[in-house]
C-alpha cells in the first residue's frame, strides 16, 4: 500500500527513487564518456532493495568486509549476472580474517590489501582463485582541511602503504592494480592534487599495473562539482599508463536523495525554545555528532533567520543528543512533522539502538510520488542484538 509522507510512521528514512536516478544519470555519464568504472561504496548506502537499479547503471559494488561483500554479491552481482549483465564485486579492508577469507573468495572479483604482510598471507590464494589483486597506497598528500578524522594521509595512518614501505617489501609481481582513497566530500581539484602525488611517488610502478582505483570521497553529483576536471584525471591515467580506472563513491550515489521524517514529541523552554523529537542524532544520524554537521531541514532557516528559533534534540539520555538550532515561521508544537534532508547516506548503515531506541522505518518514494514502506523494526530487533 502506498502512502504519502504524512502517513508514514516516524521516525522513517525515505529514499527518493527519482533523485537516485538523477545521481545515477550523472555517474553513468562520466562512465560513458571516459570508460571509467564507478562502483557503489556500500559503507555509505546499503539499501539493497535499490541494488538492481544501481547495478543497472554502475559497474558494481565495493565492500569493507565480509558482510558487505556478501550483500553486494547476493543482492547486486548475482541478479544482474543472471540477466547477462556484467557486475563487479570488490573488497578492501585494513586486515582480513583468516577464518573469513575463503568465503570472501566466493564473493569478490577484486581483492585489495592494505600491506605487504596481507599480500604475503592471502595474495597467492586469491590469485590462484582467479581474483584481481590490488594494494592500497598512501600518497602522503593530505587535502583534509576540516575533518582530520577522515584523513588517511595523516601522520601515523594505518591505511595504505607509503612509498618507503611499498619499496621495502612485497611480491610486486602479484599486483594487478593500486588503490588510493584520500578524499571526503571533496571536489576534483583535490583529486588532481592527490593524483600528482601518486605519480610523483608511485609513477614508475604504474606501467606495470592493469588498473588504478581512485577510491571514494568524490562529490560528483553535488552542484558545482567540476566533472570535466575529474574526466581529465581519468583520461590522464588511461592515456599515460593504459590503466583501467575505478572510482568508488558512496555519498555521490545517494547524495541529497533521502529524508528522515520525524515528529515533535514535546516543546519546552530553558533559556531558549527546545523541541524534543522522536529521532536521535546519536542513534539515527550519528554523523551529526561525529563529523560534526548540521543537516538541512525542509522549510527551516538559520537561527534567528525566521521568527521562531528552536534547539532540536533527541529523546535519549545523552545530554549532547542535539541536532542543532533551526528557525521557523511559526512555533513548533507537539505532533508537528519535520523532514530532514540528505539522510540516505551514512544513516541506515551507521544507526544504533542506544537507550533502547527503535530503529527508523525505511520507505521508498517511487517516481509517482507515493511512498512504499519497505521495512519496520521492533523490540525483537533491539533484543536480538544483545544476547
Q: Which helix (H) or strand (E) holds 135?
A: strand 132-136
For residues 124 and 148, is the Cβ–Cβ distance under 8 A?
no
Instruction: Check whether residue 221 and residue 276 sit in a common domain.
Output: no
Alpha carbon separation from 267 to 160, 270, 273, 309 (Å, rounded): 48, 10, 7, 12
Asked whether residue 19 is assigned to any structural domain, the reply reads no
Instruction: Check whether residue 365 and residue 281 sit in a common domain.
Output: yes
Round to whole Å and give the CA distance between 116 and 76.
31
Instruction: Check whether residue 272 and residue 230 sit in a common domain.
Output: no
Round to whole Å and give the CA distance between 286 and 31.
32
Round to whole Å and give the CA distance between 193 and 190.
5
Domain boundary (219, 254, 289) is at 254
pLDDT score for 14: 98
Instruction: Check whether residue 234 and residue 322 sit in a common domain.
Output: no
Stated pTM of the model: 0.96
Is residue 272 pLDDT above 90, yes or no?
Answer: yes
Q: Residues near 228 by Cβ (< 8 Å), separated by ≥ 6?
A: none
Asked whether residue 21 is assigned to any structural domain, the reply reads no
Instruction: Check whether residue 172 and residue 205 sit in a common domain.
Output: yes
β-pairing, 110-113 vs 88-92, is: parallel
Is residue 324 pLDDT above 90, yes or no?
Answer: yes
Range of the domain at 199: 35-254
Is residue 199 pLDDT above 80, yes or no?
Answer: yes
Is residue 387 pLDDT above 90, yes or no?
Answer: yes
Instruction: Check whether residue 234 and residue 323 sit in a common domain.
Output: no
Instruction: Check whether residue 248 and residue 291 sit in a common domain.
Output: no
Please write the tens of the pLDDT for every residue from 128-145. Answer: 999 999 999 999 999 987
- Nearest of 211, 186, 246, 233 to residue 60 by alpha carbon: 246
For residues 296 and 342, is the Cβ–Cβ distance under 8 A?
yes
> Helices 188-202 and 227-241, interaxial angle, to 10°?
20
Q: Which helix (H) or strand (E) holds 233?
A: helix 227-241
pLDDT score for 169: 83
Domain boundary (254, 285, 305) is at 254
Asked whether residue 30 is assigned to any structural domain, the reply reads no
DSSP secondary structure code for residue 208 in this structure: G
Total domains in the fold of the chain: 2
Instruction: Check whether residue 80 and residue 95 sit in a common domain.
Output: yes
Please write the tens of the pLDDT for every residue from 160-169. Answer: 999 999 999 8
For residues 262 and 281, is the Cβ–Cβ distance under 8 A?
no
Q: What is the CATH number of the domain that holds 51?
A: 3.20.20.10
Q: Residues near 316 by Cβ (< 8 Å), separated by ≥ 6?
A: 280, 282, 283, 354, 355, 357
Please write the tens of the pLDDT for every residue from 3-19. Answer: 888 899 999 999 999 99
Instruction: Check whether residue 217 and residue 283 sit in a common domain.
Output: no
* Percentage of the chain modeled with pLDDT above 70: 100
Q: Which helix (H) or strand (E) holds 246?
A: strand 244-247
Query: pLDDT category, 181, cuts 50, 70, 90?
Result: very high
> Helices 227-241 and 17-34, interaxial angle, to 10°?
40
Amino acid at each position: 500500500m502506498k502512502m504519502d509522507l504524512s502517513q508514514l510512521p516516524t521516525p522513517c528514512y525515505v529514499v527518493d527513487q527519482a533523485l537516485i536516478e538523477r545521481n545515477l544519470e550523472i555517474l553513468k555519464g562520466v562512465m560513458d564518456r571516459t570508460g571509467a568504472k564507478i562502483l557503489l561504496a556500500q559503507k555509505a548506502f546499503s539499501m539493497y532493495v535499490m541494488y538492481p537499479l544501481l547495478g543497472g547503471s554502475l559497474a558494481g559494488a565495493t565492500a569493507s568486509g565480509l558482510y558487505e561483500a556478501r550483500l553486494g554479491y547476493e543482492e547486486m552481482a548475482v541478479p544482474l549476472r543472471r540477466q547477462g549483465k556484467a557486475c563487479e564485486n570488490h573488497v578492501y579492508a585494513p586486515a582480513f580474517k583468516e577464518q573469513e577469507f575463503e568465503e570472501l573468495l566466493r564473493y569478490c572479483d577484486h581483492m585489495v590489501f592494505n600491506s605487504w604482510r596481507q599480500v604475503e598471507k592471502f595474495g597467492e590464494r586469491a590469485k590462484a582463485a582467479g581474483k584481481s589483486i590490488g594494494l592500497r597506497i598512501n600518497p602522503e598528500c593530505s587535502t583534509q582541511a576540516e575533518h582530520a578524522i577522515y584523513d588517511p594521509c595523516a601522520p601515523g595512518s594505518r591505511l595504505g602503504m607509503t612509498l618507503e614501505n611499498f619499496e621495502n617489501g612485497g611480491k610486486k609481481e602479484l599486483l594487478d592494480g593500486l588503490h588510493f582513497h584520500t578524499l571526503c566530500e571533496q571536489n576534483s581539484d583535490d583529486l588532481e592534487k592527490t593524483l600528482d602525488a601518486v605519480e610523483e611517488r608511485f609513477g614508475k610502478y604504474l606501467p606495470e599495473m592493469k588498473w588504478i582505483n581512485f577510491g571514494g570521497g568524490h562529490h560528483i553529483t553535488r552542484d558545482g562539482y567540476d566533472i570535466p576536471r575529474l574526466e581529465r584525471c581519468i583520461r590522464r591515467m588511461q592515456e599515460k599508463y593504459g590503466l583501467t580506472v575505478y572510482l568508488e563513491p558512496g555519498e555521490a550515489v545517494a547524495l541529497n536523495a533521502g529524508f528522515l521524517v520525524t515528529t515533535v514529541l514535546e516543546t519546552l523552554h530553558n533559556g531558549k525554545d527546545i523541541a524534543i523529537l522522536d529521532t536521535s542524532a546519536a542513534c539515527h544520524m550519528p554523523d551529526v555528532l561525529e563529523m560534526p554537521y548540521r543537516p538541512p531541514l525542509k522549510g527551516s532557516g538559520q537561527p534567528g533567520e525566521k521568527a521562531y528559533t528552536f534547539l532540536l534534540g533527541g529523546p535519549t539520555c545523552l545530554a549532547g543528543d542535539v541536532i542543532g538550532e533551526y528557525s521557523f515561521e511559526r512555533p513548533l508544537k507537539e505532533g508537528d512533522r519535520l523532514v530532514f534532508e540528505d539522510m540516505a547516506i551514512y544513516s541506515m548503515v551507521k544507526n544504533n539502538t542506544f537507550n533502547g531506541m527503535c530503529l527508523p522505518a525505511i520507505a521508498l518514494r517511487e517516481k509517482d510520488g507515493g511512498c512504499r514502506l519497505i521495512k519496520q523494526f521492533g523490540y525483537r530487533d533491539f533484543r536480538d542484538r544483545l544476547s
